[in-house]
Amino acid sequence: MNEWVEEMTRIGNAAGLEGRFLVEFGFEQLEAKVRELKAAEGSAEVELTQTCGACPEQYDAHILGVPVAYFRLRHGYFAVQCPWGGETVYSSRTYGDGIFDEDERDRELSAAKRAVWTWVQTSPNAMEIRKQIAEARERRG
């Protein structure tokens, strides 16, 4: 239990909540906030390579060189599949048709990266990908 409280406090402090975290949130809200913060933190590992600039705007996503997802925006529908051709882990309607409007690109790509990271960490269908990422981490030291 102490390790859990220490981890919650560390994450809360990193999010700028400075000790208020355990007092202001109940345990369910606390766990939800921790999942959200860990996804935001972990999504930095999701690297995007744009494979097409428009009609459709699309990206390949990798973690440490391991392919994990495919992002595609076409006809105002943005969808992310993990892995390529797999389950849709994030989708939204956008103003942009085959390319994001400038004010939505960062928001949509960030949300999608969080969804990919969460899928990789939690989905039973991502076990092989998790293994490949762990091997890539070992190789990089």
The domains of the chain are located at 2-43, 47-140
pTM: 0.74
Could you report the per-residue pLDDT of 61-94, keeping only the tens digit for each? 999 999 999 999 999 999 999 987 789 999 999 9
Report DSSP state, residue 125.
G
Q: What is the share, in percent, of the chain residues with pLDDT greater than 90? A: 60
**Burial of 43 by CB count in 10 Å (0-12 exposed, 13-18 middle, 19+ buried)?**
buried
Which alpha helices (H) appear in the chain, and where do they start and end?
2-14, 21-24, 27-42, 102-122, 127-140
Average pLDDT, the chain: 84
d(CA 72, CA 58): 4
Q: Which amino acid does the sequence have at 77?
A: Y
Q: Print burial letters for 79-108: b (CB count within 10 Å at least 16), e (below 16).
A: bbbbbeebeebbeeebebbbbbeeeeeeeb
d(CA 141, CA 133): 12
Q: What is the share, in percent, of the chain residues with pLDDT greater than 70? A: 73
Structure tokens at 68: 């994990």
Closest CA to 47 of 122, 124, 112: 112
